[in-house]
Amino acid sequence: MANAVHGVTGERPARFVVLANPVSANARRIGRQVRELERAAIVPVRVIETDRDSRRTRDALQKALREGDWLGIGAGDGTVNLAIDSGVPVAPLAGGNANDIAHMLHTKQALRDPRHILERGQIVPVHPLYCRIGQPDDEPVARLAAGYISLGASGRAAHEINQSRNHFLRSVPGARKLYIGSQVCRGLARASEFKIQDDDGTYTRFESVFPNGDRMAEHLRWQSDITKPATQEVSIGDKRFLPVVTAIGRSLVGRLTGPALSVGDVRDFTVENEVYLQTDGEAILLAAGTSLEIGVSPQPFAAVTTKLAA
């Protein structure tokens, strides 16, 4: 199956397959929503659980999915990332921590009640970002990101959150948000400034983010065209209070700091010291001397959105 769509379509799926992570932050809520969808009987519903081995998850999807299916992601951004090349339209359901991609594609009403996704969802093309990573002494690897790529403080924070996935407080609804918030603060506090080098010189950074579409749509109101194949760097030069507040303020009013990148444009640089890289919530530690190439993929994937019908 070819996972590409050119234009907006609004037909209902023949079947709604939900890829659910049983240990994700909102697994219980996703379970309730799936049962409601089954009772509503809008279309047949099938549930597949993720495996710790991502290759097994991919194999299970490949065997289960067929033409006409929509793939609901009952997990977080990292699982959405895993499924964007599944060959069928992808509909995130906000089952993880940040759920940036789900908020990018859906209204709050649809995330509370996924029946709206099946009844009003429209298929649109979304161009993911790509990141080519060349670590010293390793073969280059490539990663796609439906929502965002970032380096620095948020990458370190994502690492701290992912390291705490099995902590008992994450299963306590009242304590979950406070605990995750504490891990974010811990990651930000422990993050260090890093240096990048490109053709124009060497720069110090505390954070660099490449958002795709309306990242953090629940909070921000910029770059809201989710089908626009473009990104723009948001960077913070250091971790002092004033630069951080200034950078956040500029992003809130739509004044991003870096040049816009579209299909065919590339931002390439080398990191001069260790730094965490994050692609849709999945963090890895880059070694000093790692080269990075970031751009917009020319190949879109099919996504389901409810924002066009809002």
pLDDT digits (tens, 9 = 90+) for 242-280: 665 565 555 544 445 566 788 888 999 999 999 999 998
The mean pLDDT value of the chain amounts to 81
Assess if residue 189 is contained within a domain. Answer: yes
Structure tokens at 157: 């924070």
Residue 49 in this model has a pLDDT that exceeds 70: yes
Indicate if 152 and 275 belong to the same structural domain: yes
Do 107 and 195 lie in a common domain?
Answer: no
Give dist(CA 77, CA 177) in Å, integer.
17
Same domain as 154, residue 272: yes
pLDDT in tens, 167-221: 555 555 555 566 666 766 666 677 788 899 988 899 888 888 888 864 444 444 4
Q: Which of 24-28, 35-39, 159-163, 231-235 is the most confident on average? A: 35-39
Distance, CA of 206 to CA of 219 (rounded, Å): 22
The label of the residue with tokens 């948000």 reads: 177
Q: List the domain range (segments joined by +) for residue 93.
A: 15-127+301-305
Q: How many CA atoms lie within 13 A of 131 on its CB side?
A: 30
* The predicted structure's pLDDT at residue 218: 42
What would the two tokens of residue 148 be? Answer: 């965002």
> Do 207 and 263 share a domain, yes or no?
yes
> Are 153 and 292 members of one domain?
yes
Domain membership of residue 8 (yes or no) is no
**Residues 85, 175 within the same domain:** no
Q: Is residue 139 part of a domain?
A: yes
Task: State whether 275 and 172 are in the same domain.
Answer: yes
Tell me the per-residue pLDDT of 59-113, one tens digit each, with 9 for 90 and over. Answer: 999 999 999 999 999 988 888 888 888 999 999 998 887 788 888 888 889 999 9
The verdict on 214 and 182 lying in the same domain is yes
Q: For 276, how many CA atoms within 13 A lie in the half-sphere containing its CB?
A: 25
pLDDT above 70 covers a percentage of the chain that reads 76
Separation between Cα atoms, residue 228 and residue 209, nearest integer Å: 17
CB 17 within 8 A of CB 89: no
215 in the same domain as 97: no
Q: Is residue 2 part of a domain?
A: no
Q: Provide the CATH number for the domain around residue 112.
A: 3.40.50.10330
Cβ atoms < 10 Å from Cβ of 246: 13
Residue whose C-alpha is closest to residue 218's, from 112, 121, 91: 112
**pLDDT tens per residue across span 7-21:** 556 678 999 999 998
Residues 26 and 49 in one domain: yes
Q: Give a yes or no: residue 30 inside a domain.
A: yes
Encode pLDDT of 98-157 as tens digits: 788 888 888 889 999 999 999 999 998 888 999 999 999 889 999 999 888 999 888 888
One domain for residues 289 and 141: yes
The CA distance from 137 to 94, in Å, is 38
pLDDT reading at 301 higher than 80: yes
Please count the structural domains in the chain: 2
The burial class, CB within 10 Å (0-12 / 13-18 / 19+), for 249 is exposed
pLDDT surpasses 50 at 1: no
Please list the alpha-helical segments (H only) found in 191-294: 241-252
Output the domain CATH number for residue 245: 2.60.200.30
pLDDT at 285: 95
List C-alpha distances in Å: 48 to 57, 60, 99, 187. Answer: 9, 8, 19, 32
For residues 223-234, average pLDDT: 64
Please indicate, yes or no, if residue 7 is contained in any of the structural domains: no
Inter-CA distances, 12 with 31, 43, 68, 112, 230, Å: 22, 8, 9, 19, 28
Confidence of residue 4 (pLDDT cuts 50, 70, 90): very low
Alpha carbon distances (Å) from 286 to 147, 150, 216: 20, 12, 25
In whole angstroms, what is the distance from residue 196 CA to residue 182 CA? Answer: 28
Say if CB 164 and CB 179 are below 8 A apart: yes
| Residues 113, 140 within the same domain | no
Structural domain contains residue 4: no
For residue 3, is it within any domain?
A: no
What separation in angstroms does the CA of 141 have from each of 53, 78, 241, 290?
18, 17, 35, 11
| Residue 147, pLDDT score | 85
State pTM to two decimals.
0.81
- The C-alpha atoms of residue 310 and residue 306 are separated, in whole angstroms, by 6
pLDDT at 221: 40
Contact 162, 134 (CB under 8 A): no
